[in-house]
Amino acid sequence: MTEENQPHKIPVGISSCLLGERVRYDGGHKGHSYISQTLGEYFQFSAFCPEMAIGLGVPRKPIRLQKKDNKEIHCVEINDQDHDYTGQLQDCADKQQHWQRKLCGYILKKDSPSCGMERVKVWDEVMPSREGVGVFAGRMMENLPWLPVEEEGRLGDAVLRENFIQRVFAMRRWHQLESEGITVGSLVDFHARHKLILMSRDQVLYRELGRFVADTNKDNLQENIGEYLLRFMSLMKIRATRKNHVNVLQHIQGYLKNHLDGDDKQEMVQTIDKYRQGQLPLIVPITLLNHHFRKFPNEYISNSFYMDPYPEELCLQNAI
């Protein structure tokens, strides 16, 4: 594992080849400029290659996922299935938990038999099917089910990119909450500040989680913390929809109903409707709402992470 010592940045794990490290089987890399340059401004990357960690050198014979006679999927050397690395890669993932638990996210190499998050080729006697998960990645996600995980290929999708980065920032806020010591009051506040973000995902699940928080007290706090994190991050993983964003924007607009004149109200309604129709990106109605709340402050809205979920320099809301 390699990492930069930049404590002000958010700790995120990453497959080493994506940072340009020549650790692939052929001695190459898969350096990704958006990850290293743009996200690198905010993320402190901890690079790790499980294939190197278990002793496979560079160059090395390639490996793949193979479905055996018992239908179990194993990670084996392409030309010699007796060289089976499944157990070593699983053990490797188990041994990394001490530093992975401190992370706020992880970016994996797509299609990799060790690091692929989904749709990795699995070979059988006929032809490969894209049904597999990299062995190391699969065990890591089992060990840390709350951790935001994404593949570099999927970061090209604006909605998935925004969703992942928003989860990473939310995970950092959770770690900060843990470091201060979670109380019933701080959990309620954390949930309230994420309310609008959660509503943009799924309003039914948001209400269910809200009832869970409301039922949390000093007696059951410790046992509820872990369950809350799992449910919170599972809800955060759901992709926000344009329809749900419109509902949230209209909800926020309601806090201005006694402050705006007729023209400003009409402009707000039209802006939200143009976003609904796909004529404007999300940043436009949010910017207009923030403009009005600067003149008519509201503590609840100003505390909501929906209005300011991450640094504006990332420009994520310009594309959704």
- pLDDT one-digit tens code per residue, 22-59: 999 999 999 999 999 999 999 999 999 999 999 999 99
Question: Computed from CA positions of residues 308, 309, 313, 317, in that sequence, does the dihedral angle turn out positive or negative?
Answer: negative
Its pTM stands at: 0.93
Its CATH architecture, for the domain 2-55+85-119+132-155, is 3-Layer(aba) Sandwich (3.40)
The pLDDT score that the predictor gives to residue 6 is: 52
Show the tokens assigned to 307. Answer: 């209005």
What are the tens digits of pLDDT across the range 188-237?
999 999 999 999 999 999 999 999 999 999 999 999 999 999 999 999 99
How many other C-beta atoms can be found within 10 angstroms of the C-beta atom of residue 95?
A: 11
Cα–Cα dist 301/283, whole Å:
16
What SS3 class is residue 261? Answer: coil
Show the tokens assigned to 203. Answer: 């309003």
Cα–Cα dist 232/202, whole Å:
11
- List the chain domain ranges: 2-55+85-119+132-155, 157-320
User: 56 burial class (0-12, 13-18, 19+ CB within 10 angstroms)?
Assistant: buried
User: What value, to the nearest 5°, has the Cα angle with vertex 176 and ends 183 and 220?
Assistant: 25
Query: Is the predicted pLDDT of residue 127 greater than 60, yes or no?
Result: yes
